Structure 1
Amino acid sequence: MRAPALRDLVRGAARVLEEAGVPSPAHDAAALAARALGVDRLDLVLPPPVPAGFAGTYAELVERRRRREPLQHIVGTTGFRHLVLAVEAGVFVPRPETESVAQVAIDEAQLLVRRGESPAVVDLCCGAGGIALSVALEVPGATVTAVDLSAEAVDLTRRNHAASGLPPIRLEQGDATASDVLADLDGAVDVVVSNPPYIPPDAVPTEPEVRDHDPDLALYGGGLDGLEVPRGVMTTAIRLLRPGGLLVMEHAEVQAAALREAAAATSALVDVRTMPDLAGRDRMVVARRRRDRGADVKDSRP
């Protein structure tokens, strides 16, 4: 009996994944085949011959995905802007919508470079390091600092940085909402950017890939509205930013008004606005540090 061609195996895998409810079955089936072959990308127009043992290896990978293990965990990497990041269980998987958050921070830092300045950028709640490393890559001359509470996240960011060949960054394990985190940078930072945990406790994600595999520490923001951590990050940003410095922070679409109100209530942030992600959804709050640092500054947390 003729052994199945690679194209047939991938089509069969796509049907299995589709029946399991995987959102992008054809893409994932091809990515898993590439993983089993040990190549970066699979060409199904001119597919290679099926090597010995491939079918068994491929079936195991497809079964893991059928059970809704994240594709990124299975293949071990994910793309983020111009980077390929290592990802692993225990650390939040970077999402495409966060690339828009990174873009706003990068645009601000690049503007400062064009003015002849060397911008200081801080990524609070850095996760796998996507935002911090994107700034380091796309804004030559920027001084980048990244912080995360998770030791696993800090270690993964460190390894992603080492693999990138980028200039040195400062990387610390710490609580982004603590009153003394990065205290030596108080009033000296040009851009604070963050994708903090912000999911409310009663809004458990429906996607198994998120609910069952992303760490709770990176998902749930605390408090009834999920905004305890984001408000704390906002307070830290106010302390770190120089006059006129920019805060960019991701949030859920339904949290836009609440975070605009929180920012305005501090009296330290001005030009407060909501910006969309690539899909047009309200996904980030953007604000500037009041230029008069002597003004009354209220903690944004209730």
Structure 2
Amino acid sequence: MTGATPSEPGFRSGFASFVGRPNAGKSTLTNALVGQKVAITSDKPQTTRTVVRGIVHRPDGQLVLVDTPGLHRPRTLLGERLNDLVTSTWAEVDVVAVCFPCDEKIGPGDRFIVSELAKVKRTQRIAVATKTDLASPDRIGEHLLAIHALGEEVGTPFAEIVPVSATAGDQVGLLADLLLGMLPEGPALYPDGELTDTPEEAIVADLIREAALDGVRDELPHSIAVVVEEMGLREGRSADRPLLDVHANLFVERSSQKGIVIGHRGARLRDVGTRARKSIEAMLGTPVYLDLHVKIAKDWQRDPRQLRRLGF
């Protein structure tokens, strides 16, 4: 297929945002469209805390994906700040795609999100039925009808409803075509080959947090924050033998949580460090030395001063 070049008429560029309740498949979909991992994924809800921009380069356009935290009824100051981030993003993008996982019925959380979205007037909106690989054809059919009914009921009908499986790759290309077609004509916004504008330190912190979240008990995910204190190539090494030094602190809220993260004789923290280091090396393409420490920031999710220190 021959498309328009980035400066020719017919080339489209702009921003689309995936929204949905926590664990609706937004990050997995972002990674599938970009073609490589730019957003962390986890089986624990509410793992996304920063707005990640994934960039999809096509001959006919450039689609910039804004992946926001899951919108939810907040219980902490952190929750309120994450929700503010979501709603301010909606007003600034060209298209909002609301994700509804096929393996779960539509519930009050979905209704809350679509009602909030109805307050944003100018933005175009579509619905994405995610995780079709986890549902039968009959269940998917019922789900699509329920999504349509919800849009009509709340007074914000969807321009399109697309079933996809990011894991299996089903209809991901179709979704990209649809989103691109809804963008305005304009030049490319990012250089060719750039896949995200998230700073490398933020990506590294997210990958460490993803490794730490894997397998911890349900009460812990929201209590974990990671700050990269220092990161840089080690001096005195030749260009063909680079080593990236990463010094990071993993914060929890209580000493009992610190014990869970460190594990028996430090086994769990060593495992987290090994998996995080491999992910960072795969993402950045450089060998990594990771120095990881666990610290306590008491009740940081409710403390404005601590939230600022941890980057929220």
Q: Which has the higher contact order (CA 8 A, sep 6+)?
A: 2
Bigger radius of gyration: 1
Tell me, yes or no, whether TM beats 0.5: no
TM score, norm. by length of structure 2: 0.30
